[in-house]
Structure 1
Amino acid sequence: MSRSLTPPRRSSTSAPVATGGASTRARVAALSNPPLDYVYDGSFEGLLSVLFAIYDRKAAPNTIQPLGTVQGGLFAQPVEIETDEATAARVWEGLLRHMDQEARTRLFHVFLSEQPDRELLVFRYADLAMRTGRDISDNYTDENVRRVAHIAQQMYREKHRMEAFVRFEKTSDELFHATIEPDFDVLPLIAPHFTKRYADQRWLIFDKRRRYGLYYDLTRTDVVEFETTAPQRNTDISATVLDEREPLFKLLWQSYFDHVNIPERKNMKLHRRHMPLRYWRYLSEKQPREQRFEPIKNKRPPGGQSALGK
């Protein structure tokens, strides 16, 4: 499955798409033909291509499934839709005739949420928006609108946590590496934050669960895929490739948290609410202390008298 950091963009040479206002809404084709089972390559561009095919064929979807996970019926043969980037960009821009940018972005978040029925949810929301003729983002009486809003909130929360909880380790070749395992596929959402904040250093953020990462080479951030043929038990960097000062950096980071901690105000219930346990395995400050930090003490000459006092 191909991955991208942003939804498809229409070519600058293409005609602009008008936004806002009922007069710009195109008439939506009636889905009068028998429903079909659609199959796509698993990418967001592929899903947008499926949306185009649904109205082109005038056939509503029974199912929309990624390749490799297809569960066909006894008599129905799934229809495989080829991904077309130009078509996907056209659909993505065309959605602005029926919803604002914030609502459209929620559809991308739904896709990244990896919910089992995410494809049908995106279709149902888009179809409702196109047929209603007005903004539906606040129509919480509709189950699909409520689910899209709820998933968008979950994605925002996970994105915020990843931006706060990523901990880098420096390798001997000046690469800063971090491993994460978020509940949702949020790497495309956190890429702008880390690209802007750490623009002066090379870094790699690896999603252990999904086996891909973000790599920044001082000029741009790209998606990097990892082979899955040979499963690995652990993705931690070997100590032999870490910068020799990395253990000191880890110790100083742990010591900072030890010193700012106020034992009398300890509230583990609140602590776990803001920093769930599933993130602790990748946080330096939550690892066992190898040694207790002791501040450097000023040296004094024998007798306790300062040399400057003579």
Structure 2
Amino acid sequence: MSRSLTPLTSGKRAVASQATGPVAARPTVVQLTNPPLDYAYDGSFEGLLTVLFAIYERKSAPNSIQPLGAVQGGLFAQPVQIDTHEATAARVWEGLLRHMNEEARTRLFHTFLSEQPDRELLIFRYADLAMRAGRDISDNYADENVRRVAGIAQQMYREKHRMEAFVRFEKTSDGLFHATIDPDFDVLPLIAPHFTKRYADQRWLIFDRRRRYGLYYDLHRTDVVQFETNAPQRTTDISATVLDEREPLFKLLWQSYFDHVNIPERKNLKLHRRHMPLRYWRYLSEKQPREQRFEPIKNKRPVQPGGPALEAGPDALPE
């Protein structure tokens, strides 16, 4: 399955799409009068958009839309395989702006990345409803499909935000900063702009071990990289033999910083876990087992009788 960081539009084409926006007069939508069919595609977003075009070209609503690797055919009917055509997919993607605004269209891409079992049919139903409504449907929460797409978009936003906040890099001996993640959704295409902008002065690789692909930035551009091996990876760590010799020190310094800014008296584990769920702790250096026992900084005088504790200054007496 091919992967891309942006849904079809890029460069001048993207600018043109945003400038055009939805128009007042909407084209007539083809009626799906032929018997329904089962469709199969290559599993890419471009492939799904090509399927949407084929549905209206054949005038046959979908019974199912399945990736080729998960096709379940019946005894008497086999799915119709639709080959991906990038020009057709781009035409469909740009044509959606005639029926919905930019934000609503982006929600469809997020729904695809959510990897919900019925995401293909959900995207079709939402797009078909938008085309036939004659008005904006993004706020029509009485419709189940609109509610689901909006809810998925919120989940994707939260996962994207947390990945941007909690990813921790390790430096290898050749100067590459590496991070392994295992998000619930396929958010790599969504976090690519953030890391490309924030870490533009260093080479980095973010690897999604569940989906076996990653993002690689070479100081000039960010590309999708595929990993062919099917061997399962049971840990998010990389071999210590390829790490920079100072990496253990960086980890120790980060843990020490976290310990010293912590205020034990104000500890609230319930609130802490709500803002930082347990499943993200695997990425954080400060949440890993301590290699050295924590020792508080001794920069306070004992509490004086009848008064508060005083900070130690240059004339403080040794304890």
Equivalent in the alignment of 1:7: 7
- Equivalent residue, structure 2, for 1:212: 213
Q: Matched residues in 1 for 2:11 and 2:285: separation?
A: 44
Please provide the CA RMSD for this pair.
2.1
Structure 2 distance, partners of 1:11, 1:31, is 35
Q: Is the 1:10–1:86 Cα contact (8 Å) retained in structure 2? A: no
For the residue of structure 1 that corresponds to 2:289, the secondary structure is coil
CA distance in 1, matches of 2:192, 2:21: 28
Q: State the partner residue of 1:59.
A: 60
1:140 corresponds to 2:141? yes
1:300 is matched with which residue? Answer: none
State the secondary structure of the residue aligned to 1:139: coil
Aligned to 2:206, the other structure's residue is in SS state strand
SS at match of 1:64: strand
Contact 2:3 2:224 in 1 (8 A): yes
Note the alpha carbon deviations across 1:111-158, whole angstroms, 9 max, x for none.
000000000000000000000010000000000000000000000000
Amino acid at match of 2:21: T
Partners of 1:88 and 1:196 lie apart in 2 by 28
What amino acid is the match of 1:185?
D
Decide whether the 8 Å contact of 1:251 with 1:293 is kept in 2. Answer: no
> Counterparts in 2 of 1:19-30, with a 5 A limit?
19-23=21-25, 25-30=26-31
Structure 1 position 63, deviation (Å): 0.2
SS in 2 for 1:68: helix
Q: 1:51 to 1:11 in 2, by over 3 A?
A: farther
Residues in 2 aligned to 1:209 and 1:122: alpha-carbon distance in whole angstroms:
24
Tell me what 1:269 maps to: 270
* Superposition deviation, residue 230 in structure 1: 3.0
Is contact 1:10–1:89 with CA below 8 Å preserved after alignment? no
Q: Distance in 2 between matches of 1:256 and 1:232?
A: 30
- Matched residue SS, 2:241: helix
Taking structure 1 as reference, are residues 10 and 215 closer, same or farther at Cα in structure 2, changes over 3 Å only? closer
Following superposition, the deviation at residue 295 of structure 1 comes to 8.9
CA distance in 1, matches of 2:84, 2:61: 18
| Other structure's SS at 2:69 match | coil
Amino acid at match of 1:124: R
User: Is residue 243 from structure 1 mapped to residue 244 from structure 2 by the alignment?
Assistant: yes
What are the equivalent positions in structure 2 for 1:1-310 lying under 5 Å apart?
A: 1-9=1-9, 18-23=20-25, 25-292=26-293
**Structure 1 length normalisation: TM-score?**
0.91
> Unaligned 5+ residue runs, structure 1?
298-304
* Residues 36 and 61 in structure 1, CA contact (< 8 A), matched pair in contact too: yes
Structure 2 residue runs of 5 or longer lacking an equivalent are 299-313
Contact 1:7 1:108 in 2 (8 A): yes
Structure 1 SS opposite 2:179: strand
- Give the secondary-structure state (helix, strand or coil) at the position aligned to 1:63: strand
- Percent sequence identity is 85
TM-score, L = length of structure 2: 0.89
2:6/2:189 contact within 8 Å kept: yes
**Any idea what SS the aligned residue of 2:185 has?**
coil
Given that 1:37 and 1:62 are in contact with CA atoms closer than 8 Å, whether structure 2 keeps it comes out as yes
